[in-house]
Amino acid sequence: MGNLVLYRKYRPQKWEEVIGQEHVVRTLTNALKLERVGHAYLFGGPRGTGKTTIARLLAKSLGCADLDLIEIDAASNRGIDEIRQLREGIKFAPTAGKYKVFIIDEVHQLTKEAFNALLKTLEEPPAHAIFILATTEAHKVPETILSRVQQFAFRRLSAAEIIQKLQKITSAEKIKINDSALRLIANYAGGSYRDAESMLEQLRIWDDKMIEESDIEELLGAVNFEKVKVMTDYLGGADAKGAIDYVGMLAEKGTDLEMFAKALVSHLRKMMLIKVDSSLASLLAQELTADQTEIVKKQAEVFSLNSVAQAVKIVMAAQNDIKRSPIPSLPIELAVVEIINNKNSI
């Protein structure tokens, strides 16, 4: 087995390797054939569905050299200065080939001033510049920008599509796993290929053993439930220090914080449903044991409906930010502070 993490090793290098997103692939490969690639695109859609992958493929297909592919993370470069700098850089011709490609990730995070500066560039781009704006929240991108770009809506991948790629990887890597276990991973990933892959990565530690459904349930269920329960207790007790220490401990132990955040969202959602109406607990019967349901009910008592609903939103946003955060635990730490502040002020 190689020591490259799966996502780096198996990121599509060719258009044929992209799963799903047929409409995007078809339109872009046609544009390439006809030499009619546009100057600005917006890739919108859920996390881990291929936006960055396809943006890089497009750059590669345009013969764009590494130096001429500029990736900007708008989540950490939100301001006018960064966009101004970009506008300065745009003037210079590509070092090799015909194009310079600018990928601006999480573009919805730009400040208003930065959007305005970007708009100016989109209005009169130099012939060699191609912009690909990517975002999980296309609805937050101003109309003025939208009117200047060709939009593509990426969709969640189906479980079948996810399984298809996971199967290739497991056979190439000689990971032993049975079909129902794969299906479980694909279902749990909720349309995000990245989540599925990261789960597989965590399961690899068993290496030689055949991975079965029960291993996955264990990985997702019991482990998650316990961790998430502890975290929710800290939040319920408004113990920010306890919660932050706990996240630090999880990070140190190598817990995948994105998956943890996802499990926390799902746990808080359950609490919210129970608060809306306790009869909704029956909806959760499939996902929780009777004991677990009791714990969730008890934990829900110390939150108001409003504060738990806020908490769901906050952790969901944090989950999205983790991968780009310079410090992986930071988005959850911020979420903790925000949730506890909200809870105290309601």
15 binds, among Mg ion, ligand ATP, none (CB under 5 to 8 A by kind): none
Closest distance to ligand ATP from the beta carbon of 4 (Å): 11
Question: Does residue 52 belong to the site contacting ligand ATP (CB under 6 A)?
Answer: yes
18 binds, among Mg ion, ligand ATP, none (CB under 5 to 8 A by kind): ligand ATP
Tell me the two tokens of residue 80: 């006018």
Question: Does residue 198 belong to the site contacting ligand ATP (CB under 6 A)?
Answer: no
9-17, 183-191, 251-259, 325-333 -> range binding ligand ATP (CB under 6 A): 9-17
51-59, 117-125, 142-150, 227-235 -> range binding ligand ATP (CB under 6 A): 51-59
321 binds, among ligand ATP, Mg ion, none (CB under 5 to 8 A by kind): none
19 binds, among ligand ATP, Mg ion, none (CB under 5 to 8 A by kind): ligand ATP
DSSP 8-state code for residue 93: P
The one among 44, 53, 219, 308 contacting ligand ATP by CB under 6 A: 53
Q: Cα(122)–Cα(38) distance, rounded to whole angstroms? A: 11
* Residues forming a β-bridge with 177: 211
Q: The tokens 């946003």 sit on which residue?
A: 317
Nearer to ligand ATP, 16 or 66 (CB): 16
Q: Cα(209)–Cα(14) distance, rounded to whole angstroms? A: 32
Question: Does residue 152 belong to the site contacting ligand ATP (CB under 6 A)?
Answer: no
CA proximity to 194, closest of 21, 44, 72, 51: 51
Closest distance to ligand ATP from the beta carbon of 151 (Å): 15
Q: Are 100 and 70 in contact (CB under 8 A)?
A: yes
* Per-residue x/- track, 175-194, ligand ATP (CB under 6 A): ------------------xx
Q: Cα(263)–Cα(255) distance, rounded to whole angstroms? A: 12
12 binds, among ligand ATP, Mg ion, none (CB under 5 to 8 A by kind): ligand ATP
The one among 28, 44, 48, 220 contacting ligand ATP by CB under 6 A: 48
Tell me the two tokens of residue 222: 């019991």
Tell me the two tokens of residue 56: 């890089």
Nearer to ligand ATP, 68 or 258 (CB): 258
User: Could you give the angle at which helices 193-203 and 179-188 cross, rounded to 10 degrees?
Assistant: 130
Nearer to ligand ATP, 138 or 231 (CB): 138
Q: Cα(83)–Cα(131) distance, rounded to whole angstroms? A: 13
Nearer to Mg ion, 49 or 292 (CB): 49
Q: Are 55 and 24 in contact (CB under 8 A)?
A: no
SS3 content of the chain, % helix, strand, coil (to 5): 60, 10, 30
- Beta-carbon neighbour count of residue 26 at 10 Å? 11
Residues that bind ligand ATP (CB under 6 A): 7, 10-12, 18-21, 47-53, 136, 157, 165, 193-194, 197
